[in-house]
Amino acid sequence: MSLQALFHPRRVAIVGASSQPQKIGGLPVRMLRELGYAGEILPVNPGAAEIQGLRAWPSLRALPDAPDVAIVAVPAAAVSATIEDCIGRGVGAAVVFSSGFAEAGSEGLAMQQRIAGLAREGGLTLLGPNCLGVINVRQRWVGTFSPAPLSGLPDAGGVAIVSQSGAFGAYAYVLARKAGLGLSQWVTTGNEAQVSVADLIDWLADDEETRVIVAYIEGARDGERLRQALLKARRAGKPVVVTKVGRTAAGASAAMSHTASLSGEDAVYQAVFEECGAVRAYTVEEMFRHAQAFATAPCPRGRRLGIITVSGGVGTLMADAASDAALELPPLPQDIATRLRERVPFASTANPVDVTGQITADYDVLEQTAVDAARSGAYDAVALFLAAAASAPALGPKVIETVRRIREAAPHLPLALSGILNAEQSRELQTLGCLACEEPTHAVEAMARLERWQSFAPAATPPSVPLARLPAGTRNEAEGLAWLAAQDLPVMPHRVVHGEDQAVQAWRELGEGPVVIKVVSRDILHKSDVGGVRVGPRSDAEVREACRAIGESVACRAPQAAREGLLVARLLKPRVELMLGARHDPVFGPIVVVGLGGVAVELHAKTFVLSAPAAASRVRELLGRLGVSTLMGAWRGQAVIDDASLVQAVLRFSQLAAGLGASLRSLEINPLMVCDDGVFAADSVIEIDA
Q: Note the pLDDT tens digit of each residue in 327-344.
A: 999 999 999 999 999 999
Q: Comparing C-alpha atoms, which of 178, 215, 211 is closest to residue 200? A: 215
Answer whether 240's CB lies under 8 Å from 210's CB.
Answer: no
Higher pLDDT, 388 or 463: 388
* Spatial distance between the Cα atoms of 599 and 515, rounded to a whole number of angstroms: 17
Measured torsion, CA atoms of residues 404, 407, 409, 410, in degrees rounded to the nearest 10: 170
Q: Where in the chain is the domain with CATH 3.40.50.261?
A: 154-296, 298-455
Rounded to whole angstroms, the Cα distance separating 690 from 439 reads: 56
Mean confidence (pLDDT) of the chain:
93
- Spatial neighbors of 47 by CB under 8 A, at least 6 apart, are none
Max CA-CA distance within the chain?
101
What pLDDT, on a 0 to 100 scale, did the predictor assign at position 58? 97
Mean pLDDT of 248-274: 61
Report d(CA 406, CA 242) in Å as an integer: 32
pLDDT value, residue 638: 82
Mean pLDDT, range 310-334, rounded to an integer? 96
Least confidently predicted of 36-40, 80-84, 358-362, 441-445: 358-362
Which pLDDT value is given to residue 469? 84
- Model pLDDT, residue 251: 52
Question: By three-state DSSP, how is residue 166 classified?
Answer: helix
- CATH 3.30.470.20-classified regions of the chain: 576-688
Does residue 247 carry a pLDDT above 80?
A: no
Q: What is the DSSP string of 240-300?
A: EEEEE---SHHHHHHHHHHH------HHHHHHHHHHHT-EE-SSHHHHHHHHHHHHHSPPP
Q: Rounded to 5 degrees, what are φ and ψ at 49?
A: -90, -25
What average pLDDT does range 439-461 have in this prediction?
95
Tell me how far apart the alpha carbons of residues 135 and 161 are, in angstroms, rounded to a whole number: 10
Residue type at 207? D
DSSP state at residue 218: S
Q: How large is the average pLDDT for residues 532-552?
A: 97
Q: How far apart are CA 531 and CA 533, in angstroms?
A: 6
Mean pLDDT of 291-317: 96
Query: 208 or 469: which carries more pLDDT confidence?
Result: 208
Orientation of helix 423-431 relative to helix 396-409, angle to 10°: 10
Distance CA 436, CA 428 (A): 9
What's the DSSP call for residue 57?
B
Strand stretches in 64-116, DSSP E: 69-72, 93-96
* CATH architecture type of domain 1-146: 3-Layer(aba) Sandwich (3.40)
DSSP per position, 647-663: HHHHHHHHHHHHHHGGG
pLDDT band at 598 (very low <50, low <70, confident <90, very high): confident
- Is the separation of the CB atoms in 653 and 619 below 8 Å? no
Please give the class, per CATH, of domain 576-688: alpha beta
Rounded average pLDDT over 661-673: 93
Instruction: State the Cα–Cα distance between residues 481 and 567, nearest whole angstrom.
Output: 11
pLDDT confidence tier of residue 404, bands split at 50, 70 and 90: very high
Give the Cα separation of 684 and 481 in Å (integer).
6
- pLDDT over 90 for what percent of the chain? 87
Reported as a single tens digit per residue, the pLDDT across 56-103 is 999 999 999 999 999 999 999 999 999 999 999 999 999 999 999 999
* pLDDT for the residue numbered 171: 97
Phi-psi region of 357 (alpha: psi -120 to 50; beta: other; left: phi over 0): alpha
Q: How confident is the model at residue 213, as a pLDDT?
A: 98
Q: Is the per-residue pLDDT at 186 higher than 90?
A: yes
Which segments of the chain belong to CATH 3.30.1490.20? 493-570
Class of domain 154-296: alpha beta
CATH architecture of the domain covering 298-455: 3-Layer(aba) Sandwich (3.40)
**Are the C-beta atoms of 166 and 146 separated by less than 8 Å?**
yes
As to burial, measured by CB atoms within 10 angstroms (0-12 exposed, 13-18 middle, 19+ buried), residue 114 is middle
Residue 101 backbone phi and psi in degrees, to 5: -110, -130
Alpha carbon of 164 to those of 145, 196, 286, 509: distances in Å?
16, 8, 18, 62
Secondary structure, 3-state, 522-577: CCCCCHHHHCCEEECCCCHHHHHHHHHHHHHHHHHHCCCCCCCCEEEEECCCCCEE
Q: What are phi and psi of 21, to 5 degrees?
A: -65, -15
Q: How confident is the model at residue 161 (pLDDT cuts 50, 70, 90)?
A: very high
Predicted confidence at residue 178, as pLDDT, reads 92
* CA within 13 Å, CB half, 450: 32
Residue 306 has a pLDDT of 98
Q: What is the 3-state secondary structure (H, E, C) of 333-354?
A: CHHHHHHHHHHCCCCECCCCEE
Q: What is the pLDDT of residue 631?
A: 87
User: Residue 102 gets which letter from DSSP?
Assistant: G
**Is the confidence at residue 255, as pLDDT, over 50?**
no
Q: What is the pLDDT of residue 263?
A: 31
pLDDT class for 605, splitting at 50, 70, 90?
low
Residue 419, Ramachandran bin (φ over 0: left; ψ between -120 and 50: alpha; else beta)? left
What is d(CA 256, CA 246) in angstroms, rounded to the nearest whole number? 9
| pLDDT at res. 321 | 98
- pLDDT score for 639: 85
Pairing of strands 664-675, 576-585: antiparallel
Comparing C-alpha atoms, which of 25, 95, 91, 101 is closest to residue 56? 25
| Third-level CATH fold of 493-570 | Dna Ligase; domain 1 (3.30.1490)
pTM for the complete prediction? 0.93
pLDDT for the residue 590? 93
Q: How far is CA 552 from CA 528, 547, 559, in A?
A: 13, 9, 10
Residue 686 has pLDDT above 80, yes or no: yes
